[in-house]
Each structure stands twice: as structure tokens, then as C-alpha cells.
Structure 1
């Protein structure tokens, strides 16, 4: 009970502080427009009334937390999940490409890590290029991927999934390389003393040792995959998905809808990371790890 409280209280305290800062920032950023509107209307509202107006504008520069919360609630629970107005529907569209890209990225990352650990030439030649690839902005790559695949008639889910793959394979590759190399030399020598083959060394020592590293990197990869899916929706003019909601909101200056879509993306990311973490704990316990 005390341990749970020690985890929850700091998070709630930080959240409360962020909400306070958010409200203050909303008042400051929305004040110029509100003053202009009051001047044109010939009214001079009092202090609290003026603050209330800055926090209730239909198209504010920075929406207040309660405005975003209301929009998120209405778009999630007050409309049918399959409606084009539902954040659940848009989140599901983005989630499909996120999961596909995550699967591709995880598989690619693991394959690269196995090759790098076992082939010295790959370690020296491929690993620097893998690291360098992450210095290229995803916003520059996404339109090229979409255009190239559209030219050969491939549109929709696959191009967006490949953009997610590009972002998600890197943390898995790096984490797995570290995990596969994590067994100490004494354990490797002990296995060789027992005349273990290369495959036995890999499956009985390196792979079990790499599992914690794998799931830790997969938490990063699943969040990166979601970012890639959202970015992949931006240059396509998509009509569905969280990225599409962001585009629509920016076209019509619907800042409240933009922030509601961002919150929806954050919720999806948190759920995905939590699920990966739970699966990781289950796998580790099934392999004999002690519960934390």
C-alpha cells in the first residue's frame, strides 16, 4: 500500500502542477485576442470575468484543460465509435498501422541485432549506418515513402506501417545488441567448458539474458511506432486517423480538437506501453525471474 502511494502521489502532484501551469499559459496566450474582442465590442470586463472569457474562447490560441477534457469526452463517449467524429474510430485507424509497423520494426531490429552480435563485419559496417539513419528527420522521409509507394500503386496501411517501422526498429536493434552481449565472460566460458555449441550458447544463454533488454526497448519502439503512424498520415491527406484529425484541426483553426486528438494519441501510447510492460513481466516470470 505504501509503495503504491509513493508511486501515485508524485505523479498526481506533477500532474496538478502541469494543469496549473497550463491554465496560466492559456490565460496569457489568449489575453491579446480577448482584449481586441472586448475593445471592438466596447466592453471592459472585470478581472475574473476577463479571465473566464480567455478560458472559454471557441478558437483559442491555447485551449484550457477543461475545454480539451470536454472535447475529448464528447468525441470519445458521446458519439458512436465507428463515426467519423469519434476519436475511438480515428485512434483505431492509427493503431492498425502502428501495430503493423511495430511488428515489422521489432522483427527487423531483432534480426539486425543477431547479425551484429554474430558477424563482426556487420558490427563494424552496419551499426554506424543504423545509428546515422536516425539523424534523418522523419518528416523528410515520410512524404518520399508515401510518394514512392503511391507511384507503384501501394497506398493506405503499408506505407504508414513502413514509416512506423523506420522509427521502431532502432531501439529494438540497440537494446537487443546490448542484451545479447550482456552475459558475463565467466558464463560464456562455463558454457564452452560444457562443450556447448554456438546455437546452445545463443538459445540457452544469450536469448534469456536479452529478454529484459528486449521488452524495455519495445516500450520505446511501440511509442515511436505510434509517432511514425501519425506522421505518416500527415502527407497523405488522410481522412481518418489521429494525424488526419490534427490536419483537419489545423486547416480550420480548431485548436481544441487538435489538443483533444493529441490527448487521444497520448492515451493510446500509454496503453500500448503498459501492455508491452505487462507482457514483458509475464514472459520474465515464466522464465523464472523473481517478481519485483
Structure 2
């Protein structure tokens, strides 16, 4: 309970600020309607009016929660109005990109640690690649995919997700594979260990804490990349598409509900990675 108190205090503070911002930002519409009718608005009338608008500038938390609950439970999960359905579409794209990002990040990390020329040539370009805004590169990836004959939207989304997720894996794996000090490496050499044995017995176990820490960042980045990838591709399915539809049709509650559904999905993915980390640690005999 003591650990939960700080979290609850922060959450309460966010809710209070959110409600205050809701009154402030939605009050302009209330005052405008009152001016058109030639009447004044009291504070007792203002607050309820800002909390129950159909298309508020800033939806209050209870409206967002109600819309989120409706999207999760009011329709069948196969309905295209269901956030569960759209969440699965985004989840599928996230997993494709996440897997591709892991393969790319780990592969480059192994090459960089093994070959100095890769460290000098590839690593700087990997760092530079992350300075390019994803919103700028996403349409380019889509255009190139269409040009080379790749149909559908899954592959471009996976590429965009992998683009964001490979970098934390790469950096953390390089750090982890280089974590053993020279004394440990020399000791294995004196025992006649081969380079592969050194990798399996020393470098790989030493990299696991770094690897799983990077996966928690990478899976969230892959989710962001998938959502961003759904925007310029003209997708009609996925949480990113729901956000875009809400924005285009002036339905902020749809956008906010999809946003919170994305946050829930990110939380579940991070919990899943933490669970896999515990399994891997138990398998390798690592104490928590």
C-alpha cells in the first residue's frame, strides 16, 4: 500500500489538472452559446456544461473512460467499431516490426562487437538514422514499397516499426556483449575456450539484462511506429486509423479512446516482455 500511495497521488494530481484544463478549454464554446442567446453563464452552469459536450475541445476523463469502455465492450470483437478489433490489427503490425527490429538490432550488434570495421562504419550511421523524423520517412517507405511492387500495408508498417525498435536493441546489445571485463576474457582464454564458447558462456549471459531492458523500450517504439505507419498509408483499420478518423470527422472522443487503448496495449506488451525476462532468468539460473 505504501508503494501505491505515490502513484495514486500522481494520478489524482493528473486528474485534477485534467478536469481544470477541461473547464478552461471547453468554456469558450459555453460562453459563445450563451452570448448568442443573450444570457450570462454562472460558474454553477459552466462546469456541468464543459463536462458533457458532444465534441469537446478537451474531453474530460469520465467521457474518455466511457468511450473507451464502449469501444472495448459494446460491440463484438470482430466488429470494425470495436477497439479490440483495431487493437489486434495494431498488435499484429507491432509484432512483425518488433521481431524484425530484434533480428536487425541483434545481428548488427554481433557484427559490431566481432568486427571493428563494422563498429567504425555502421554504428555512426545507425545513430544518424534516428535523427530522421519518422513522420517524414513513413511516406517515403510507403512510396518505395509501392514502387517495388509490395502490396498491402502490413510490410510498410512493419518496416517503420522496425526502424524505431532496432536502435535500442542495437545499443543495449553492444553494451551488454562488451560488458565482460578483460580479466574474465583472459581467464577463458587460459582455459582454452573458443570464441564461440566465450560468446555462449560469458558474453551472451552478460548481455541478457541489457537485452531485456532494451526490449521494453523497443516494443513501445514498435507500437508507436506501427501507429504512425497507419496514418500515411490510408489505413482504415488499427488504432492509428481510429485516431485519424476521429480527427478527420471532428470526433475527439474517438481519438482519445484510441489513444488510451494504445497506452493499454503498450502496458500489456511491456508486462509480457517482463514475464519473458523472468522466464529467461530462471532458465539461466539468474537470481532476481
**TM-score tier after normalising by the smaller chain length:** over 0.9
Question: In structure 1, what is the Cα distance between the partners aligned to 2:181 and 2:282?
Answer: 22
| Alignment equivalent of 1:148, drawn from 119, 144, 161 | 144
Give TM-score scaled by structure 2 length: 0.97
Residue range with higher mean Cα deviation, 24-33 or 262-271: 24-33
Q: Residues 160 and 226 of structure 2 are in contact (CA less than 8 Å); yes or no, is this contact kept in structure 1?
A: yes
Q: Please give the secondary structure, in 2, of the residue aligned with 1:90.
A: helix
Question: In structure 1, what is the Cα distance between the partners aligned to 2:85 and 2:127?
Answer: 35
Question: In structure 2, what is the Cα distance between the partners aligned to 1:279 and 1:21?
Answer: 37
The residue aligned with 2:274 is 277
Q: Where does structure 2 lack aligned partners over 5 or more consecutive residues?
A: none
Q: Residues 64 and 257 of structure 2 are in contact (CA less than 8 Å); yes or no, is this contact kept in structure 1?
A: yes
TM-aligned CA deviation for residue 152 of structure 1: 2.9
Q: Please give the secondary structure, in 1, of the residue aligned with 2:40.
A: coil
Question: In structure 1, what is the Cα distance between the partners aligned to 2:169 and 2:108?
Answer: 9
The residue aligned with 2:181 is 184
Question: In structure 2, what is the Cα distance between the partners aligned to 1:95 and 1:126?
Answer: 30
The residue aligned with 2:118 is 122
Deviations 1:32-84 (A, max 9, x none): 12110121133433212211101111111110000000000011111111111
Question: In structure 2, what is the Cα distance between the partners aligned to 1:56 and 1:180?
Answer: 55
The residue aligned with 1:44 is 40
Deviations 1:174-222 (A, max 9, x none): 0000000011222111111101111111111000110110000000000
Aligned positions of 1:231-246 closer than 5 A = 231-246=228-243
Q: Please give the secondary structure, in 1, of the residue aligned with 2:183.
A: helix
TM-aligned CA deviation for residue 6 of structure 1: 3.6
Give TM-score scaled by structure 1 length: 0.96
| Alignment equivalent of 1:136, drawn from 132, 139, 155 | 132
Question: In structure 1, what is the Cα distance between the partners aligned to 2:242 and 2:187?
Answer: 57
Question: In structure 2, what is the Cα distance between the partners aligned to 1:133 and 1:198?
Answer: 31
Q: Please give the secondary structure, in 1, of the residue aligned with 2:3.
A: helix
Q: Does 1:16 align with 2:12?
A: yes
The residue aligned with 2:200 is 203
Question: In structure 1, what is the Cα distance between the partners aligned to 2:246 and 2:272?
Answer: 30
Deviations 1:90-123 (A, max 9, x none): 1111111100000000011000000000100111
Question: In structure 1, what is the Cα distance between the partners aligned to 2:176 and 2:233?
Answer: 38
Aligned residue pairs total 287
Residue range with higher mean Cα deviation, 29-38 or 100-109: 29-38
Q: Where does structure 1 lack aligned partners over 5 or more consecutive residues?
A: none
The residue aligned with 1:265 is 262
Q: Does 1:254 align with 2:232?
A: no
Q: Please give the secondary structure, in 2, of the residue aligned with 1:83.
A: coil
RMSD: 1.0
